[in-house]
Amino acid sequence: MKKAIFFDLDGTIADSIQIGIECANDIAKKYGIDHTIDFSRLRESSTRKIVREDLQLSLFQIAKYLSKGRRLMRAKAGDIRVFPGIKSVLKRLGRRYEIVIVTSNLKKTAQLILSNAGIDIVTKVYAGRALFGKHKMIRKALRKMRLRPADVIYVGDEVRDVEACRKVHVQVIAVSWGYNSRKVLEKAEPDIIVDKPSALIRAISCLDR
């Protein structure tokens, strides 16, 4: 039996996509980057491809701009809502599993979004600075919680979530209402893809056998 469900925050629980795009474009404009991100482009491409190929950012620039972007997101956290239906799903899952957040956002931002939504079932929040280092964050959470990869299911909305889980041998459910579309997620081959929050209950049950 699984012991915990790890959830990504932005695009999975929190409907922060538009605010995230606005923050990214504000930073691009400030630093003279001749490229803007739009929702349709984001949905049909991976974060890695947008950052490396479209924006042509170096690793140093990624770290610099990501830090500024997180601070902008923190300032706008009060305007971020959670996706309809996700709160009741988390509450139901919390009766059986420990609910944990693993996010690339700031811990304080995550806590504020959850608090504003009245979500109190989350027991731990693990936050990291690296945009493409989520596998390290998952591994850290496993170690601190003294869990094996087989004890956990991860739920996320991006290709990089699926890639991270594969590196640490954790089963992963991808959700199609976030940053990446179902078409893009299918190519990454998660264990299951769901199209609405209520479908998570059945998907998790299928993997927890």
Domain boundaries, the chain: 4-15+82-207, 17-78
Residue 89 and residue 61: Cα distance in Å, rounded? 38
Q: What angle do CA 96, 161, 81 make, to 5 degrees?
A: 70
Angle separating helix axes 86-93 and 199-207, nearest 10 degrees? 30
* The pairing of beta strand 81-82 with beta strand 14-15: antiparallel
Which of 49, 50, 52 shows the shortest CA–CA distance to 38?
Answer: 50
For the chain, the residue count is 209
* pLDDT tens, the chain, 209 aa long: 899 999 999 999 999 988 877 777 777 676 666 666 666 666 766 666 655 555 555 555 655 666 677 777 888 889 999 999 999 999 999 999 999 999 988 999 999 999 999 999 999 999 986 667 899 999 999 999 999 999 999 999 999 999 999 999 999 999 999 999 999 999 999 999 999 999 999 999 999 98
Report pTM. Answer: 0.87
Residues annotated as catalytic are: 8
Residue 74 and residue 69: Cα distance in Å, rounded? 9
**What CATH number should be reported for the domain whose range is 4-15+82-207?**
3.40.50.1000
Q: Where are the beta strands (DSSP E) in the chain?
A: 4-7, 14-15, 81-82, 98-103, 122-127, 152-156, 171-175, 192-194
Per-residue 3-state assignment (H helix, E strand, C coil) for 73-116: HHHCHHHCEECCCHHHHHHHHCCCCEEEEEECCCHHHHHHHHHH
